[in-house]
Structure 1
Amino acid sequence: MYDPTRLAALVAVSEAGSITRAAERLGYTVPALSQQLAKLEREAGTALLVRHHRGARLTGAGELLAARARRVLDEMERARHELAQLAGLSGGRLRVGTFTTAGIHLLPPVLTAFRRAHPDVELTVAGYEPPFGVAAVAAGEVDLALTHAYEPADAVPLPAAVSAERILVEELVLVTQPGHALASGTARLPLEALAGQPLISMAPTHPPRQAVERALARAGATPSVLVETPGYALVCALVSAGLGIAVVPEMVARTAATPVGTRLLEPGDLRRTISVVHRTDESTAAADSFRALLRGAYGRSVG
C-alpha cells in the first residue's frame, strides 16, 4: 500500500514542475522530499521521475500513479471534511418536521441537546401531521421528520429513498372524565367494556386512526362527537367535560392539559409507533447526529 505522504509528494512535483518548488509548497527540505520520492519509486518498482536542468518531469508510470494519487488524496480530504463535520458540525442547517404531540413533548429536549453540541447549525422546525411529514422528507422540504403509525393500521408503503427508524412505541389507553366508573379499576379494562359508551372519535377523516376506530366500533363504542382534525388536546378537553370517552396514546393521556381519568385496555394491542423518517440517499452529518440523539433519548417503549 502506497504511503499517502509520498503520493502527495509525487502530485506536488507533477504540479510544481520541480522538486525544489514542490518542497517549498509542502514545507519540506529538498533532501527530505527527494528521500520520500525515492521510497515511492522503490514501492512502485519503477522510475517515476526524470530530473533535468530545469527541474523534474514525471515518467509515464509517474503520470499514471499521480492521476490515481489525486483521486485517493481527494477522497481522503473529503473523508476528513465529513468527519470534521460529524464531530463539530461547524455550519450548515437542519430542517426538522414534526407532528404536534412530538413537537411539544419529544422534540424540545433533543433540540436543546443538539444546539448545545452544535451551536453553529441553523435549525428550522415545521409542522406536518402524519402522513404529510413523510411526503415532506421525500420532496426535500425537510431533512427528517417525526411521524407516527397506529396498530392496527392499513399498510402504507414509504416512498422510494425514504427510510423510517422506530423511536418509541406506546399503548393507546382509555381516557374518561375524572371519577368515571370505567377509570376506577386498576386491572386492564376489556375492550368489550366500551360497548354502548359515547366515544369522542377521530374517524373517519384521520387516516392513521381509521383502523383503530374500526376496532373500537367492533367493540361496540358509539361515536358521540367526531373530531375531524388530529387534535388530541381538543379530544381530551371534550372528554374532561363529560361529552364521552376516548382512546388516545399514553403520552397524550399523561400530559393532557385538562383533568382526565385513565386506564389500560385489554388486550394491549392498540399502539402508536413514533418514528423518524429520512432520505437514505441524501443523509447529512447534522441529520445523522440528530437521529442519534433521538435514539439515545427515546429508543425504548412506553407503557
Structure 2
Amino acid sequence: MLDPMRLRVLVAVARTGSVTAAAQELHYSQPAVSHHLARLEAETGAKLIQRVGRGIRLTEAGRLLAERAEEILGRIESASAELAAYVGLRSGRVRLAAFPSALGTFVPTAAVRLAERHPGLELCFTEAEPPEALRMLRAGQVDVAVLFRYGEAEPDEEGVRLTHLFDEPGFLVLPAAEPGAETLAGHAGSRWIAGCERCRAHLLRLCAEAGFEPRVSFTTDDYVAVQAMVAAGLGVAVLPELALTAHRHPGIRTVPLPGSTRRVFAATYGEPPDPPPTAALLTALLGG
C-alpha cells in the first residue's frame, strides 16, 4: 500500500525539480527526502527518479505516479475537510475555482448569500479558466468549478457532474467612435481580437456561419484588454454578457449576436450526495 507521506515527497520533488528544494518546502532534511524516495521505489518496484549530472529528474513511471499522487493527496485533504464538516470538528470549508468574469460578477453575490446563511463556513476563491478549473476539481484542490461552454458539443468529463446555472448572450463589440456595420458579415475584412481557446473556437464557428474566416490579429484572455483594444480601433471582437457586466469600456458599443450563447455551469466531482459545504455553495450559486 502506498504511503501518503512518501507520495507527498514525490509530488514536492516533481513540483520543485530537486531534492534540496523539496526538502525546504516540506521542512525535511535532504537525507529524509532521499530515504522516502528510496522506500517509495521499493514499495512500487519501479525506478521513479534518475540522476542527471548534479540533479535528478523523474522517470516516466515517476511522472505518472506524481500526477496520480497529486490527485490522491487532494482527495485525502478534501475527504478530511468533508468529514470535519460532518462530525462538527469545525464549521467547514469550501473551495471554488471560477473564470475571471464570473468572479467579477455573480460569484461575489453568491459568496455574500453563503456567508449570510452559513457564517461559519470558510469560502476560498481561485481564478481559473475551465480546463484548469476542471483539473483542480479532479485533483481535489477545489470542491466546485464554475465553467462555461458554448453551443458546440463537448465530451462529458468522467466523474464530473454539471449543474446548469444560466445562459448568457454574446455581443459584437465595436469602437464607439467609428460608424460601421453591425453584423458579423459586415466585418469580414476587419481585424479581430480573439480570446481563450474555447472563445476563439466559438468565434471561428460564428464567422464561418456568416461566410468568412476572421483575420485574428490579437489574442488575449483579458476582457478588459479586449475592450481597450477595440476602443482604440485595433480590431473588433465578440464577448459574452458577463465580460461586459464585469467591466465596460466607455469607448465601445455592443450589438447583440443571435445564436451566440454561452452556458455557465457549476461542476462537482464524484457521486451524490455532495458534502454539506459543497451543497450550500451550489445553492448560493443558483440564487437560493
Please give the secondary structure, in 2, of the residue aligned with 1:108.
helix
Contact conserved, 2:160 with 2:268, CA < 8 A, in 1? yes
Contact conserved, 1:253 with 1:262, CA < 8 A, in 2? no
Aligned to 1:209: 200
Distance in 1 separating the partners of 2:234 and 2:89: 50
* Aligned-pair identity (%): 28
Distance in 1 separating the partners of 2:245 and 2:96: 25
Provide, for residues 66-94 of structure 1, a one-character-per-residue CA deviation record: whole Å limited to 9, x for no partner: xxxxxxxxxxxxxxxx9xx79x9971110
Provide, for residues 161-209 of structure 1, a one-character-per-residue CA deviation record: whole Å limited to 9, x for no partner: 21111111111111111133247xxxxx54322221221123xx61453
Please give the secondary structure, in 2, of the residue aligned with 1:166.
strand
CA shift for structure 1 position 244? 1.2
> Aligned residues, how many?
201
Q: 1:143 to 1:132 in 2, by over 3 A?
A: same
Distance in 1 separating the partners of 2:127 and 2:248: 20
Aligned to 1:194: 187
Distance in 2 separating the partners of 1:278 and 1:208: 23
Aligned to 2:217: 225
Aligned to 2:264: 274
Name the stretch that deviates more: 96-105 or 245-254: 245-254
Contact conserved, 1:174 with 1:246, CA < 8 A, in 2? yes
Contact conserved, 1:101 with 1:252, CA < 8 A, in 2? yes
Q: 1:130 to 1:238 in 2, by over 3 A?
A: same
Distance in 1 separating the partners of 2:213 and 2:156: 32
The alignment's TM-score, normalised by the length of structure 1, stands at 0.60
Q: 1:207 to 1:190 in 2, by over 3 A?
A: closer
In the alignment, structure 2 segments of 5+ residues that lack a partner are 1-81
Aligned to 2:5: none
Aligned to 2:244: 253
Structure 2 counterparts to residues 1-303 of structure 1, below 5 A = 91-151=91-151, 153=152, 155-182=153-180, 189-202=182-195, 206-217=197-208, 219=210, 220=212, 222-227=214-219, 229-259=220-250, 260-265=252-257, 268-281=258-271, 283-296=274-287
Distance in 2 separating the partners of 1:192 and 1:262: 15
Please give the secondary structure, in 1, of the residue aligned with 2:287.
helix
Please give the secondary structure, in 1, of the residue aligned with 2:185.
helix
Q: 1:167 to 1:126 in 2, by over 3 A?
A: same
Q: 1:163 to 1:104 in 2, by over 3 A?
A: same
Distance in 2 separating the partners of 1:143 and 1:177: 40
Amino acid at match of 2:185: E
Distance in 1 separating the partners of 2:198 and 2:232: 26
- Please say which structure displays the higher CA radius of gyration: 1
Contact conserved, 2:104 with 2:246, CA < 8 A, in 1? no
CA shift for structure 1 position 225? 2.3
Amino acid at match of 1:133: A
Amino acid at match of 2:176: P
Distance in 2 separating the partners of 1:132 and 1:221: 28
Amino acid at match of 2:260: L
Superposed CA RMSD in Å reads: 2.6
Amino acid at match of 2:137: V
Please give the secondary structure, in 1, of the residue aligned with 2:126.
strand
Provide, for residues 102-141 of structure 1, a one-character-per-residue CA deviation record: whole Å limited to 9, x for no partner: 0111111110111121111122111111122122212211
Contact conserved, 2:97 with 2:145, CA < 8 A, in 1? yes
The alignment's TM-score, normalised by the length of structure 2, stands at 0.63
CA shift for structure 1 position 224? 4.7
